[in-house]
Chain A
């Protein structure tokens, strides 16, 4: 029990002194048992203020210090560092918040002072029983796992690899590229999407610091920041990427045809296929769910014709275990399901498409070689209706949020359509136009003014087929009348939703998701690329709808945060962790079950705390009925004393 406390009461100029009699607080505390030094000063956080702490510690041999001032969020670190300079253990310094939680919220000076006395006294009683603590050093593994091989994952992986870190990039599809590689051109510059992404994809495949694992998924994660152990499951790779020469002798002989995911279902592909020409790894891939049976008796034609001998039906899936220091989650998005917008004919009429399908039509490498043609009869549509906010901004039935990118890509689609079919007519139904980025507003205006796209402010109630046309029933609120358009094609700007598997990966990594299912950031402004779990970072559309420029920014931001984390030889973990009082512990395991971080195990019949995993939350202490576990420097006895002080004792 410490006995030489020093109390410093800050005026904070007039911020505290106006409504709290700080001199009186300092005087009264000076009379308390165990307080050998007590003073007030106008600005404790200033240089002379801090120096007075250093001097007092030395002169009066203080073993603990209470600063009665503003919120600890502001200056706890400052005063602890000053205490350390004075030669005292920094954890013997505690803050009493008499500004935000007292002086600023009460006008009655007498009552405010009384409350400030209680708050300060409470801190003094507490610090009396503080232990001297040393931060716990945690060694780190200088290797990073990036989950997801879209533009976000690719960017993060490259930034990290170029900074000298080893990176493992895990992608569940047989190729990286994500959705960006499906795009034709990107707004607002109309850059060819493949042209700007392919070089990065090649860089990933060639980078000495990056290990690329495709057809792979993260199955299990254990450990903690700086020291994760990850189990990755890789599907059986029947086609060896090292041997495949991409000669394409196999697809003509494969008897099975299934929808082609890369073309968003507009075309078919064989069971053995290359996802697209620029796939990385550059190799064909045998999809076992479509294959007739991997059995030479049943089929086996692809293996027969493969001169490179790259196909082997006996390959097994494998599980790899790696150790990494940090994880970047870039699992991306999907578009709102086909079955979700039945009122717009989605899933019913082949000429009602979503944005990605329209991209494929526009793309030179797409199913129609870049000509915009109707999937139903391959005729050129002369009238195309684009419906924005399809599934977004609809709290009653669909997604409440705005998907951010649809106004821009709809303008892009309408522009591209007009370039391909100059005599066609494009209509856009919108609620608002959200075009906040650089050059975005000008892009939309060009679509309206130069390319003659007709923008109608209103919603569409229904799309149905009649006499070979798609009838679109909507409203033009600015003109104040209903509108009915006979369209040859309808393109829906479907809402952006977290990609399939986001829920599972969040569970595997034990990170949270927000109310819409996107991965939750620790704080939107203070910590936008970190999850609440230490060492796990978020980037890209997995964290929320965003466009490619923002995604690239966020990916680099996540990489920067990882570099920050892993650049030190070891991490410093807060030492205010749980401690077991073995004499009272009966090994009932209630704390083991309750601990949110699984930091407690049973060893020799008693609870044992892994100090590196323990975050010091105190849930164990609140659960234990025997007072057998406490968090250092916030013990039950300290709280007991603080309650007494709050009651005015």
Chain B
């Protein structure tokens, strides 16, 4: 049985206690995942508003710097989503993404960042339901982890 995650308490600028709302950056490839996200919208599926999307042309264009920089800027979670292997609009970009991002997530885990904070998914243009699920599950898991402090730059 999954334990219902307890809401993590945080304090806002006015030092008031509030439920922790994770900030997520989602890199979505234009041809599959962003289209899948659009389909979720067309189908009026509801999911938490914590993930702000950035549309990239291909998951292969996602540099490891984007992921690390997102954490550095305070993201509590980072999502990268692309076309299924074999379906990449640009033929092969997602294969390179798969390999590169495997290394990044291993590195993040090695230095002690909770591996649950980074997620990669294959969402096709037909998978609106899957996109909504991926975001919903991600936000739920992040709430249990609390704010990301390890890589966030102190201003």
Contact = CB atoms under 8 A, between A and B. Distances in A.
Nearest to A533: B91
Contact of A644 (B40, B60, B73, B86): B73
Interface in A601-649: 615-619, 621-624, 631, 634, 636, 639-640, 642-644, 646-649
B91 A647 contact: no
Nearest to B67: A643
B25 interface: yes
Contact of B90 (A111, A617, A634): A617
17 contacts: A100-B39, A102-B49, A103-B41, A105-B132, A107-B46, A112-B49, A532-B91, A594-B60, A618-B56, A619-B58, A622-B93, A623-B96, A624-B63, A643-B25, A644-B73, A646-B23, A647-B70
A172 interface: no
Given A617-B58, A646-B54, A71 B96 contact: no
B54 to A, nearest CB: 5
Which label, helix, strand, loop or mixed, suits the secondary structure of the B interface?
Answer: mixed
A332 B42 CA distance: 38
A106 B46 contact: yes
A97 B40 CA distance: 13
Given A112-B49, A619-B60, A640 B69 contact: yes
Contact of B44 (A105, A108, A618, A646): A105
Interface string B1-40: 0000000000000000000000101000000001101111
Nearest to A639: B66
Given A73-B35, A100-B41, A647-B73, A510 B91 contact: yes
A643 B74 CA distance: 10
B92 interface: yes
B140 interface: no
Interface string B44-68: 1111110011111110111101100
B38 A631 contact: no
A269 to B, nearest CB: 41
Contacts of B69: 640, 643
A105 B54 contact: no
B100 A622 contact: yes
A644 B69 CA distance: 9
Interface string A315-345: 0000000000000000000000000000000
Nearest to A110: B49
Given A104-B44, A618-B93, A622-B97, 7 more contacts: A100-B40, A104-B42, A106-B48, A622-B96, A643-B54, A643-B69, A644-B73
Nearest to B28: A101
B38 to A, nearest CB: 4
